[in-house]
Amino acid sequence: MRPTRAIVRLDHVVHNLRVAARLAPGSKNVPVIKANAYGHGAVEVARALAPHAPVLAVAFIDEAMALREAGIDHPLLVLQGPSQARDVATAATNDFWLMLHEPGQVRWVAEARLSTPITTWLKIDTGMHRLGLSGDQVRPALDRLRESGNTLGDTVVATHLSRADEPDHDFTRDQLALFAEQTNGLALPRSIANSAGILGWPDAHADWNRPGYMLYGHCPTNASSPGGPAAELRPAMTLTSEIISVRELAPDEGVGYGQRWRAERPSRIGTVAIGYGDGYPRHAPNGTPTWVGCMRAPLVGTVSMDMITIDLTDIPAASVGDTVELWGENVSVNEVAACAGTIGYELLAGLTGRVPLEYSS
């Protein structure tokens, strides 16, 4: 069996949710498990988190249905709301909560004939300019929902921060001020903070927070060495493979496609069974760290579909069969992402189905 796998510590995910809860003791949390729980396996993560959170969040209805079909019966908040009118009835029969971001969705809910009312959230655009009602659309939407009798309890008013990962940025202050103005006088629960908001913006903590990336053990604000509250987070995934071949290179010999790396000294090169077909970033340059034994070993040469090559010259004991960590406990996914010109979110969510997920708790 191919040795490549991602080992997921569900106890770390639960620990990270507790960190989010401790940082914002007055808020409830909606753990975000969209995109297969950021690559960690939505069903398993949902099972682990359900006892610790009143509701879990996915991006769209199909993700919510897939969880139901897998036996997850916990309430699910659908962050993009209904994709078509009939999704509203699906939500009512499946205990999906709908985040409505657009007047057409409000109309679908108001006009639906439902056997049971549904929980709704209303998303307001405070500057992200991606989704959300404008300030003047909020009160008419709330009136329409209330009059329809199709909504259960209070509608939560929500917004999303676009620059919360930039410490102390004025734009986040502007978004918070605008949200306060747009929702002034509404006696309704509020939701603002994602991970970056929870970790860095106490003023964004509201009735409901929506942690995603931090649950998986990473800080959205910092490439490699988070300080402050993020230091308490524990990486949930360790992506590993093994050395499947080792060879000696003379100075000036090149490695891999395009010979993008050439030996400057007599070198030992290890070939590792992982590549971009698994989700390892094709653009990772020479020098991107991996972890072998108890040392860093730099990537050398172009990432192939099924393999990478690493420089083992300074780790003479390393040999075929040794484990290589691509990211996890010893090499932060944020650091690998920074080397490859992307973000850890993309690497985690981009793991392909070729990589088996193994759960260690």
CB 274 within 8 A of CB 352: no
The burial of 74, by beta-carbon neighbours within 10 Å (0-12 exposed, 13-18 middle, 19 or more buried), is given as: middle
Other residues' Cβ atoms within 10 Å of the Cβ of residue 321: 10
The smaller minimum CB distance to ligand PLP, of residues 32 and 300, is found at 32
Nearer to ligand PLP, 210 or 296 (CB): 210
DSSP one-letter code for 97:
E
**Adjacent-strand bridge partners of 191:** 158, 208
Distance of closest approach, residue 277 Cβ to ligand PLP, in angstroms: 25
**Length reported for the chain:** 361
CA atoms within 13 A on the CB side of 31: 31
The helix (run of H) or strand (run of E) holding residue 348 is helix 344-349
CA proximity to 193, closest of 62, 333, 354, 26? 26
Q: Residue type for 120, please?
A: T
Task: Provide the minimum distance between the beta carbon of 213 and ligand PLP in the complex, in angstroms, as a whole number.
Answer: 4
**Nearest distance in Å: CB 80, ligand PLP:** 8
| 257 counts as catalytic | yes
Alpha-carbon span 107 to 133, nearest angstrom: 13
- Judged by beta carbon, residue 220 or residue 281, the one nearer ligand PLP is 220
Where on the chain is the footprint of ligand PLP (CB under 6 A)?
32, 79, 160, 194-196, 210-214, 220
Which residue lies nearer to ligand PLP by CB, 165 or 311?
Answer: 165
Residue nearest to ligand PLP (CB): 212
The radius of gyration of the chain's CA atoms, rounded to the nearest angstrom, is 23
Candidates 38, 257, 276, 280; catalytic one = 257
The question of whether 28 is a catalytic residue gets the answer no
- Give the Cβ contact number of residue 121 at 10 Å: 24
- Least Cβ distance, residue 214 to ligand PLP (angstroms): 6
Active-site residue set: 34, 257
